[in-house]
């Protein structure tokens, strides 16, 4: 086993001399259990670079409205290598009216974060919901709207997101029972599973997380509710890759003494753990000590892959009066900043090399369509293949991959086979007429041998669904 450090940006740990490599090599196995001391020569001077020494990221929440503030963007550019949109990717921001998506502010953040990685936050939540969504009724209707939202937002950012908070704050404090919200009340217990299955199909490269607050204490009922959900998903092959601990701390909700053990117990289920919204109210050395405690706990847990603070300066915080962040209102580094930097520079266990999340195996073999004999070169043609993404009693979602033949095409139409009793309730990335799906303006041109995808949700069984024809012009 090698303990050579992989940086989140894919480069190897900077500045390792031969001696250091030797020590790390010898400590490879122990390194999984105890922090690895790095030589001072490796100490880095920014949060992101210091976290990268042990293969982790250090991120912050960013607000689009502050991107014109040069103090803010200066610190952002210098210190952080992961970005979460504080509000701009939320449901009310991205789908203010049904099936009408807006990404202007979220895109501004993504553009400002060029060269950094992005955490997507968040797709299914009880809060910051547009009115139309909060008043949805009927399980099929609500499920279709949820899936359409996930597909719309994840589709827009496909391939650009490191991890998505697919479902946020689904459990009640204290009891750990399910929170009563439109998803739970209209769809029922299965909504979380449905959301994760839809999310995996929408962007197979993104890690899929469940995120919550007050799940920092290893023995709390709410923590165990999330633990049991992840365990169940893992046992049944429902896609899930990570647990996000929001970790908003203050005197009434301090850093628990079993915080590290808690991250370890989640990691032992085979998921990554990320600290997603860290802020700790207080000041001076007490605050600095609490920050160090959190960072050191993450560094010990190999699958704790990164830390995000919920804002840059105290004045940027949603809890500004508690001065919970690493920079003061003028952008100066606080004692908490130094303790975090020092803890990161002391090194830690190395997260396992990231492999892309595994995609759920299609449950129905793909049906490829005519033409069975290749048309003469230069003739415009296409073929389509249908794959089930997820299915449940009474419904399913699936995608059709449309592939151009040996010539580029500028329009395509796929004829679907739908067995009796099966119908399409919702379709994206195409326009439906009867059982035919045609391209939209933005995905009609496909280069020779290239492909595009559309997807749909159906009611009834997916068995027998397939592609009957594909015509191109």
Give the nearer residue to ligand XIL in terms of CB position, either 109 or 470: 109
Binding of ligand XIL at residue 318 (CB under 6 A)? Answer: yes
Q: Which is nearer to ligand XIL, 132 or 318 (CB)?
A: 318
* Beta bridge partners of residue 306, listed in sequence order: 57, 274
Nearer to ligand XIL, 214 or 383 (CB): 214
Closest alpha carbon to 105 in 161, 62, 53: 62
At its nearest, how many Å lie between ligand XIL and the CB of residue 246?
A: 6
Q: Which residue has the tokens 């789908």?
A: 95
Instruction: Judge contact between 258 and 220, C-beta under 8 A.
Output: no
Q: 247: Cβ–Cβ under 8 A, 6 or more apart, which residues?
A: 213, 216, 255, 275, 276, 277, 278, 279, 294
Q: Binding marks (x or -) toward ligand XIL, 49..88, rule CB under 6 A?
A: -------------------------------------xx-
State how far the Cα of 464 lies from the Cα of 462, in Å rounded to an integer.
Answer: 6
- In the bound state with ligand XIL, the residue whose beta carbon lies nearer, of 87 and 339, is 87
| Gap between the Cα atoms of 155 and 19, Å rounded | 46
Give whichever of 217 and 453 is closer to ligand XIL, judged by the CB atom: 217
**Cis link prior to 371 (omega < 30° from 0)?**
yes
Residue 211 C-beta: closest distance to ligand XIL, Å? 6
160, two tokens: 């650009």
Nearer to ligand XIL (CB atom), residue 49 or residue 165: 165
Residue 306 CB, shortest distance to ligand XIL, in Å, is 16
Q: Which candidate, 167, 162, 52, places its Cα nearest to that of 110?
A: 162
Q: What are the structure tokens assigned to 260, written together? A: 């590290």
Report the run of H or E that residue 300 belongs to, with start and end: helix 284-300
CB 279 within 8 A of CB 245: no
Distance of alpha carbon 387 from the chain centroid: 23
Tell whether residue 214 is a contact of ligand XIL (CB under 6 A). Answer: no
Residue 101 vs 318, nearer CB to ligand XIL:
318
Q: How far lies 332's CA from each of 126, 248, 314, 342, 418, in Å?
A: 36, 22, 10, 17, 63
3-class SS of residue 134:
helix
79 catalytic per annotation = no
The active-site residue out of 88, 277, 281, 453 is: 277
Q: Is 95 a catalytic residue?
A: no
Q: Hey, which residues between 235 and 274 contact ligand XIL (CB under 6 A)? A: 246
Decide if residue 168 touches ligand XIL (CB under 6 A).
yes
Q: Name which of 374, 434, 363, 370 is nearest 405 in CA terms.
A: 374
179 binds ligand XIL (CB under 6 A): no
- Smallest separation, CB 48 to ligand XIL (Å): 21
Cis peptide before 122 (omega within 30 of 0): yes
**Sign of the CA dihedral with 460 first, then 463, 468, and 472 last:** positive
Q: How far apart are CA 111 and CA 387, in angstroms?
A: 33
Residue 212 or 241: the one with the smaller Cβ distance to ligand XIL is 212
In degrees rounded to 5, what are phi and psi of residue 100? -120, 105
Q: Give the total of residues touching ligand XIL (CB under 6 A).
A: 6
339 binding ligand XIL? (CB under 6 A):
no
**DSSP 3-state of 466:** strand
Write down the least CB distance from residue 192 to ligand XIL, Å.
16
Query: Which entry of 6, 79, 88, 169 is annotated as an active-site residue?
Result: 169
Minimum distance of ligand XIL from residue 311's CB (angstroms):
7
Smallest distance, ligand XIL to C-beta of residue 325, A: 12
With beta carbons less than 8 A apart as the criterion, state whether 61 and 118 touch: no
Q: Just list the catalytic residues.
A: 169, 277
Rule CB under 6 A: which residues touch ligand XIL? 86-87, 168, 246, 277, 318
């Amino acid at each position: 086993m090698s303990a050579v450090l992989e940086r989140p940006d894919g480069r190897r740990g900077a500045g390792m001399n031969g001696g250091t490599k030797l020590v790390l090599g010898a400590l490879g196995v122990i390194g999984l259990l105890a922090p690895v001391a790095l030589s001072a020569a490796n100490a880095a001077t920014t949060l992101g670079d210091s976290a990268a020494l042990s293969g982790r990221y250090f991120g912050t929440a960013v607000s689009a409205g502050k991107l014109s503030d040069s103090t803010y963007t200066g610190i952002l550019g210098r210190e952080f290598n992961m970005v979460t949109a504080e509000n701009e990717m939320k449901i009310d921001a991205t789908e203010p009216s049904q099936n009408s998506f807006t990404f202007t502010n979220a895109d501004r953040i993504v553009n400002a974060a060029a060269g950094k990685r992005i955490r997507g936050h968040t797709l299914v939540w009880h809060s910051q919901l547009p009115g139309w969504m909060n008043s949805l009724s009927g399980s099929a209707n609500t499920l279709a709207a949820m899936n359409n939202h996930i597909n719309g937002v994840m589709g827009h950012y496909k391939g650009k997101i490191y991890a998505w908070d697919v479902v946020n704050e689904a459990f009640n404090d204290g009891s750990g029972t399910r929170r009563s919200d439109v998803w739970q009340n209209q769809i029922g217990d299965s909504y979380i599973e449905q959301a994760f299955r839809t999310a995996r199909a929408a962007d197979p490269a993104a890690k899929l997380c469940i995120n919550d607050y007050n799940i920092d204490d290893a023995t709390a009922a709410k923590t165990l509710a999330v633990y049991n959900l992840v365990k169940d998903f893992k046992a049944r092959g429902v896609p899930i890759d990570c647990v996000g601990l929001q970790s908003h701390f203050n005197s009434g909700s301090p850093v628990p003494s079993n915080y590290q053990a808690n991250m370890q117990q989640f990691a032992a289920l085979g998921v990554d753990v990320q600290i997603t919204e860290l802020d700790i109210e207080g000041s001076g050395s007490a605050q600095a000590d609490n920050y160090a405690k959190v960072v050191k706990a993450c560094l010990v847990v190999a699958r704790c892959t990164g830390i995000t603070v919920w804002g840059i300066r105290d004045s940027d915080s949603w809890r500004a009066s508690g001065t919970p962040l690493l920079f003061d209102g003028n952008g100066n580094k606080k004692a908490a900043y130094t303790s975090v930097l020092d803890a990161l520079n002391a090194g830690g266990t190395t997260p396992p090399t990231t492999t892309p999340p595994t995609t759920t195996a299609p449950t129905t073999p793909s049906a490829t369509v005519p033409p069975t004999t290749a048309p003469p070169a230069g003739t415009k043609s296409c073929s389509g293949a249908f794959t089930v993404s997820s299915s449940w009693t009474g419904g399913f979602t699936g995608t059709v991959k449309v592939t151009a033949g040996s010539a580029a095409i500028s329009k395509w139409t796929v004829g679907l086979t739908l067995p009796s009793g099966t119908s399409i309730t919702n379709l994206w990335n195409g326009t439906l007429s009867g059982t035919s799906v045609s391209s939209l303006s933005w995905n009609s041109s496909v280069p020779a041998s290239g492909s595009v995808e559309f997807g749909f949700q159906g009611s009834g069984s997916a068995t027998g669904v397939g592609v009957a024809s594909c015509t191109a012009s």
